[in-house]
Amino acid sequence: MNRERADNQPGIATLTLRYVLFAILATLANLGAQRLVFAIVEHGSRLVLALIAGTGTGLVLKYALDKRWIFYDRRRALADETRVFMLYTLTGVGTTLIFWGSETLFWLIWQSRPMRETGAVLGLAVGYAIKYNLDRRYVFGRRR
Protein backbone atom coordinates (compact mmCIF):
# COMPACT_ATOMS: atom_id res chain seq x y z
CA MET A 1 0.00 0.00 0.00
CA ASN A 2 1.27 3.50 -0.82
CA ARG A 3 2.12 5.72 2.09
CA GLU A 4 0.81 9.26 1.96
CA ARG A 5 3.29 12.10 2.14
CA ALA A 6 3.19 14.44 5.10
CA ASP A 7 1.51 17.14 2.96
CA ASN A 8 -1.31 14.70 2.01
CA GLN A 9 -0.02 14.27 -1.54
CA PRO A 10 0.34 10.68 -2.70
CA GLY A 11 3.67 9.01 -3.29
CA ILE A 12 5.47 8.72 -6.60
CA ALA A 13 3.92 5.33 -7.45
CA THR A 14 0.39 6.71 -7.13
CA LEU A 15 1.27 9.83 -9.13
CA THR A 16 2.87 7.72 -11.85
CA LEU A 17 -0.20 5.51 -12.08
CA ARG A 18 -2.47 8.57 -12.24
CA TYR A 19 -0.31 10.21 -14.89
CA VAL A 20 -0.36 7.09 -17.06
CA LEU A 21 -4.13 6.74 -16.60
CA PHE A 22 -4.67 10.41 -17.51
CA ALA A 23 -2.41 10.04 -20.55
CA ILE A 24 -4.51 7.05 -21.67
CA LEU A 25 -7.76 8.99 -21.13
CA ALA A 26 -6.43 11.99 -23.06
CA THR A 27 -5.20 9.70 -25.83
CA LEU A 28 -8.63 8.06 -26.11
CA ALA A 29 -10.31 11.49 -26.19
CA ASN A 30 -7.82 12.62 -28.83
CA LEU A 31 -8.40 9.57 -31.01
CA GLY A 32 -12.16 9.80 -30.51
CA ALA A 33 -12.18 13.39 -31.74
CA GLN A 34 -10.03 12.35 -34.70
CA ARG A 35 -12.39 9.51 -35.59
CA LEU A 36 -15.29 11.95 -35.49
CA VAL A 37 -13.51 14.26 -37.94
CA PHE A 38 -12.65 11.35 -40.23
CA ALA A 39 -16.31 10.25 -40.12
CA ILE A 40 -17.75 13.62 -41.12
CA VAL A 41 -15.05 15.22 -43.30
CA GLU A 42 -14.53 13.88 -46.81
CA HIS A 43 -11.88 16.16 -48.35
CA GLY A 44 -8.12 15.71 -48.35
CA SER A 45 -7.40 18.01 -45.42
CA ARG A 46 -9.20 15.75 -42.99
CA LEU A 47 -5.96 14.45 -41.46
CA VAL A 48 -4.91 17.99 -40.54
CA LEU A 49 -8.38 18.78 -39.18
CA ALA A 50 -8.39 15.51 -37.23
CA LEU A 51 -4.97 16.28 -35.73
CA ILE A 52 -6.11 19.74 -34.64
CA ALA A 53 -9.42 18.52 -33.17
CA GLY A 54 -7.78 15.62 -31.36
CA THR A 55 -4.97 17.74 -30.00
CA GLY A 56 -7.35 20.39 -28.68
CA THR A 57 -9.59 17.81 -27.04
CA GLY A 58 -6.70 15.94 -25.43
CA LEU A 59 -5.01 19.18 -24.32
CA VAL A 60 -8.01 20.51 -22.40
CA LEU A 61 -8.78 17.18 -20.73
CA LYS A 62 -5.14 16.48 -19.79
CA TYR A 63 -4.66 20.02 -18.44
CA ALA A 64 -7.69 19.73 -16.16
CA LEU A 65 -6.59 16.33 -14.84
CA ASP A 66 -2.89 17.21 -14.43
CA LYS A 67 -3.62 20.54 -12.77
CA ARG A 68 -5.86 19.01 -10.13
CA TRP A 69 -4.55 15.47 -9.58
CA ILE A 70 -0.84 15.56 -10.50
CA PHE A 71 0.39 19.05 -9.65
CA TYR A 72 -2.29 20.04 -7.09
CA ASP A 73 -2.57 23.51 -8.55
CA ARG A 74 -5.48 25.48 -7.08
CA ARG A 75 -5.21 28.81 -8.92
CA ARG A 76 -8.45 30.72 -9.08
CA ALA A 77 -7.84 34.14 -10.70
CA LEU A 78 -8.61 34.15 -14.41
CA ALA A 79 -5.39 35.97 -15.33
CA ASP A 80 -3.29 33.45 -13.39
CA GLU A 81 -5.22 30.50 -14.81
CA THR A 82 -4.79 31.85 -18.33
CA ARG A 83 -1.04 32.28 -17.84
CA VAL A 84 -0.65 28.72 -16.54
CA PHE A 85 -2.76 27.26 -19.37
CA MET A 86 -0.68 29.15 -21.92
CA LEU A 87 2.55 27.82 -20.38
CA TYR A 88 1.06 24.33 -20.34
CA THR A 89 0.16 24.71 -24.02
CA LEU A 90 3.63 26.03 -24.89
CA THR A 91 5.36 23.07 -23.22
CA GLY A 92 3.24 20.90 -25.47
CA VAL A 93 4.37 22.42 -28.77
CA GLY A 94 7.46 20.26 -29.21
CA THR A 95 5.77 17.17 -27.84
CA THR A 96 2.81 17.76 -30.16
CA LEU A 97 5.21 17.84 -33.11
CA ILE A 98 6.53 14.43 -32.00
CA PHE A 99 2.97 13.10 -31.85
CA TRP A 100 1.89 14.63 -35.16
CA GLY A 101 5.06 13.49 -36.88
CA SER A 102 4.70 9.93 -35.65
CA GLU A 103 1.02 9.73 -36.57
CA THR A 104 1.53 11.31 -39.98
CA LEU A 105 4.48 9.05 -40.78
CA PHE A 106 2.46 5.95 -39.92
CA TRP A 107 -0.45 7.27 -42.05
CA LEU A 108 1.79 8.01 -45.04
CA ILE A 109 3.45 4.61 -44.90
CA TRP A 110 0.42 2.36 -44.24
CA GLN A 111 -2.67 4.46 -45.15
CA SER A 112 -4.79 2.66 -42.57
CA ARG A 113 -6.61 3.79 -39.44
CA PRO A 114 -5.08 1.13 -37.16
CA MET A 115 -1.54 2.06 -38.17
CA ARG A 116 -2.27 5.81 -38.03
CA GLU A 117 -3.59 5.34 -34.50
CA THR A 118 -0.58 3.18 -33.59
CA GLY A 119 1.66 6.05 -34.68
CA ALA A 120 -0.48 8.44 -32.64
CA VAL A 121 -0.25 6.30 -29.50
CA LEU A 122 3.52 5.94 -29.82
CA GLY A 123 3.99 9.66 -30.44
CA LEU A 124 1.70 10.59 -27.56
CA ALA A 125 3.47 8.21 -25.16
CA VAL A 126 6.86 9.73 -25.93
CA GLY A 127 5.41 13.24 -25.82
CA TYR A 128 3.67 12.76 -22.47
CA ALA A 129 6.83 11.41 -20.87
CA ILE A 130 8.74 14.51 -21.96
CA LYS A 131 5.86 16.86 -21.15
CA TYR A 132 5.59 15.76 -17.53
CA ASN A 133 9.13 16.94 -16.86
CA LEU A 134 8.58 20.23 -18.69
CA ASP A 135 5.32 20.89 -16.83
CA ARG A 136 6.81 20.00 -13.46
CA ARG A 137 9.66 22.41 -13.99
CA TYR A 138 8.26 25.30 -16.03
CA VAL A 139 4.48 25.34 -15.59
CA PHE A 140 3.58 24.20 -12.10
CA GLY A 141 6.92 24.58 -10.36
CA ARG A 142 8.82 21.70 -8.83
CA ARG A 143 6.17 19.85 -6.83
CA ARG A 144 7.89 16.45 -6.59
Q: What is the pLDDT along the chain (144 residues), one digit of tens a residue?
A: 334 444 677 899 999 999 999 999 999 999 999 999 999 999 889 999 999 999 999 999 999 999 999 999 987 799 999 999 999 999 999 999 999 999 999 999 999 999 999 999 999 999 999 999 999 999 998 544
Q: What is the pLDDT of residue 62?
A: 97
The H-assigned helical ranges of the chain are: 12-40, 46-65, 78-110, 113-134
Cα 56 from Cα 48, distance rounded (Å)? 12
CB 126 within 8 A of CB 75: no
Q: What is the pLDDT of residue 41?
A: 96
Q: What is the pLDDT of residue 129?
A: 93
Cα 122 from Cα 81, distance rounded (Å)? 30
